[in-house]
Chain A
């Protein structure tokens, strides 16, 4: 069957009434998650896994997986829309990927053009969503065909590249990022070894046999870490929210932002495809690029609409692009895609090159639903933006305890153990301390998910080569991947030696 035929089948799945509903709920919650500071796309997706698992429990496995992933992915890209709202209205980004939007977005709001900024952000995100989907459709087949040629050695090197990319870009100190990566890999070895069936580091505790649940650790490190931080250090109440005013952008606004939206979408998409680089980086690059392209760069920072349109398109395109390595190679490039991958594995569906052959309805259903979801988001975000802006006003004193309670519910409803709740709390403290001291936690979570797969492929490759490590260097593709991985770590290091500052990549 041709790609087009598959895409049509995907649409027939996305247009089933329950999947339309799932996509709608996903993007709605996603927008709310994006608007609320303190709860990012990563924890939002993680917390919804038990809920979707329960709702879909009656369905056949594949349909259930398709519906769940449609909802969860909706949360992911929905958050990219919502994140801009607080940046523009409050000057506080709801997500790290909307940090640069504050620069010009808030200035526009102060000039009474908040409505125009918000709608341009929504239009840009929509255009970017469509661009990234076209890219996804075009690249999915060829990439998974390439990936089918991969043996264990290539897979190992590819995953190493993913980890190197995340560590190389995360946080201020690469040493700390690498430590977190290795620590995550170590946590992943706890439990029964999948190859030999031998229990490792379990100390005869039955609860440890299945390993540490990544969901618990991710929610603890991200959601609770952030909540604890706010409880401990909340310095002041948030400022006043700017008035939205006229929502539709003027003809002039549209004209000025058309090109930045296109550039941002393409740039964001390609940055998103790279493992490790994420929406945050994409929006930073887009802002810098727009400033370079602009005829009036001095206007940036004082309310230039291009400074909103470019980065907002880029971060949304990046979230679409990030789906590519996940779906075609089975390798998550960011924290949030790692959680999406965990959700798929829960349904016994392994993302990767075989996904498009074995479970076309999941893969293409998801892709098609992203078209539908983006359209919904555009409709939701234009007229309803005032309603979402109200969510910002949720008082923190109610919000924070409720986030703790939701995390408890989310973890308990999947794991059913008190142990996981205590682990969750411990991870919350750990997350707070680590992040406060510039130890990035995203590499830890990614490493925890990738760990067992990396080890598996490492050992399979070494078994093939009779314990000879040269196998990773003699296979050309594997060698190239390893060289790229090394470059990813060494180039930022060299730039740092030259005294340049490097853009940070945080949770996305």
Chain B
């Protein structure tokens, strides 16, 4: 348990709850003819979240900071894979499924462990083409396969 994380999470969720309550006031009046409008539920939830977050913040002052022996965290590896995943998401529509999937897998495989290029290329090709043809051609699903020129 990390005290700092719990504290910041408490503050963030407190703000989310507050935001919810404030923003709920802006929900337009219902024409539904009931006293129970669309804003009741969000306001209630926001208030409960505020109370719970306050409770969490209070708790963080009571327990001792946990000593968790954490192993080395591989930020670099994660950062490369995560940013290529973001690119994968952004380019999937313009470049099509096959190309982006292939590139993403090649980058991710090589980031996980470099070398063995043949295996990397074979698996990435098989997966990207295999999924596309099985899904789009054989099963008739729709997926943007290749870039449209």
Contacts and interface: CB of A to CB of B under 8 A. Distances in A.
Contacts of B1: 172, 437-438
A201 B88 contact: no
Interface in A424-444: 424-425, 429, 433, 437-439
Please report whether the interface of chain A is mostly helix, strand, loop or mixed according to DSSP.
helix
Given A179-B52, A400-B108, A412-B92, A200 B81 contact: no
Contacts, number: 168
Contacts of B38: 193, 195-196, 198, 200
A396 interface: yes
15 contacts: A54-B141, A175-B56, A186-B46, A196-B30, A196-B31, A232-B77, A233-B71, A234-B74, A398-B112, A404-B108, A405-B101, A405-B128, A408-B85, A424-B89, A458-B36
Given A54-B139, A413-B141, 11 more contacts: A175-B55, A189-B41, A201-B20, A201-B23, A234-B74, A398-B109, A398-B112, A398-B123, A401-B81, A402-B105, A459-B40
Interface in A384-424: 396-398, 400-402, 404-405, 408-409, 412-413, 416, 418, 421-422, 424
Interface stretch (A205-213, A359-367, A461-469): A461-469
B19 to A, nearest CB: 9
A405 B127 contact: yes
B65 interface: no
Interface of A: 50-51, 54-55, 57-58, 172-173, 175-176, 178-179, 182-183, 185-186, 189, 193, 195-196, 198, 200-201, 228, 231-235, 396-398, 400-402, 404-405, 408-409, 412-413, 416, 418, 421-422, 424-425, 429, 433, 437-439, 455, 458-459, 462-463, 466-467
Contacts of A459: 34, 36, 40-41
Contacts of A176: 56
Contacts of B97: 409, 412
Interface residues of B, number: 66
A397 to B, nearest CB: 4
B135 A183 contact: no
A237 to B, nearest CB: 11
